[in-house]
Amino acid sequence: VATRLKTFASPADMAASGLLDAAVVASRTEHHAADTLEFARCGLPIFVEKPIANTVAEAAALVEVLGDRASRVQVAFQRQYDEPSRVARRWLEEGRLGSLLQTHHVLQDKNPTPVGYQSCGITADMAIHLVYEAMSVRRFELPSQVQALRFLARPYDDRAGEGANIVHVFCQWPDTSIAHLWGSRINATGYDNGFTLIGTDGRIDVGEFAGDFGSIAVRRFEGVGRDEMPRGRLVESLEFPMTRPSAGHPDFYPRFALAFEAELRAFVEAVETGRPVTPGLDVGWKTLLVANVAEESSRQHGRHFELQIDGRPIVTAADAARWAAANGVA
């Protein structure tokens, strides 16, 4: 099929060809914003890989230029369409946990980045998925405080020059709930992703390491250990199968194959019907801001950042860019 496809010298030439119904931007991170803009200027729906830009300023500029057309840009956060994650979010929204107190999010890759891979940092590139996860259970409200630490455990081939292969990020929201994000590139036994939601009335656990591609468990525990049930009780449990990989599939394929399929299907349906896409650029710039703040914090040995501008919360992408420039965050 590839031999029959028409090729172009640049995104601008492709966008102007009049041959496209939509575009997928999966170029290097440093080109995401510029490539997205070329296609969006021609009125095309866009599916863009995360993060949407290298810097907060680039993201804000993209949002400003696109204006109303931003509703046609979908950001590739497959966790939006992951069924185990959806179950956990639904239970939370139904009030089955009470008030949210803490969340814990783990992402461990099996291998270092590929040769030639361009990364804006382990937190900004990898742990942005965890930022999305933590914010998705808080209706994408920005945290009020961010702090992070990074480490380089050896032996390790730091091909992308990230300077770290383990990162721990802590975020706190105005309601005082806290998220702990743990990203690692050195889980040699295989890809791992899971999270825990802890509330006033119980907890939800999603996923645990399954090296043999076993099922993904979603479990809800009820009770807080102050009655006749000292450790709470398991009240709901569901299991979802992983997808068996074939040769050449990336490490994360078994865990998220169905989610990747679902998000692409959702994008195609939005293109066909003209509906707005989700998650959109609003989620894109917010997750980029938090990830880049965490990246800068980790590079400054855990510097504490407060996400406020002029004594108020950051509301717009323009706010975010102004705050980032004033605080030395890319």
Confidence at 232, pLDDT banded by 50, 70, 90: confident
Quote the DSSP letter at residue 243.
P
CA distances (Å), origin 36, targets 183, 272, 320: 28, 19, 20
**pLDDT-above-70 percentage for the chain:** 98
Least confident of 246-255, 259-268, 300-309: 246-255
Residue 209 has pLDDT above 90, yes or no: no
Residue 135 has pLDDT above 80, yes or no: yes
Q: What CA–CA distance (Å, rounded) separates 228 from 99?
A: 22
Residue 229 has pLDDT above 80, yes or no: no
**pLDDT-above-90 percentage for the chain:** 85
The overall average pLDDT reported for the chain is 94
Pairing relationship of beta strands 100-108 and 178-184 according to DSSP bridges: parallel
Q: Do 98 and 200 contact (CB within 8 A), yes or no? A: yes
Mean pLDDT of 183-210: 93
* Alpha-helical segments (H) within 94-234: 122-125, 128-136
Confidence (pLDDT) at 258: 97
Beta bridge partners of 192: 108
Confidence (pLDDT) at 260: 97
Task: Report residue 321 as tokens.
Answer: 């860019």
Confidence at 1, pLDDT banded by 50, 70, 90: confident
Is residue 268 packed enough to be buried (19+ CB in 10 Å), middle (13-18) or exposed (0-12)? Answer: middle
What does the chain come to in residues? 330
Tell whether omega for the bond before 51 is within 30 degrees of 0, i.e. cis.
yes
DSSP three-state, residue 166:
strand
Least confident of 207-216, 238-247, 310-319: 207-216
Mean pLDDT of 236-241: 97
Residue 225 has pLDDT above 70, yes or no: no
Confidence (pLDDT) at 56: 98
Confidence (pLDDT) at 188: 87
Confidence (pLDDT) at 111: 85
DSSP three-state, residue 291:
helix
CA distances (Å), origin 296, targets 222, 237, 305: 38, 39, 9
At position 318, the amino acid (one-letter code) is A
Residue 193 has pLDDT above 90, yes or no: yes
Least confident of 83-87, 132-136, 140-144, 275-279: 275-279
DSSP three-state, residue 248:
coil
CA distances (Å), origin 55, targets 120, 184, 297: 9, 22, 15
pLDDT in tens, 43-52: 899 999 999 9
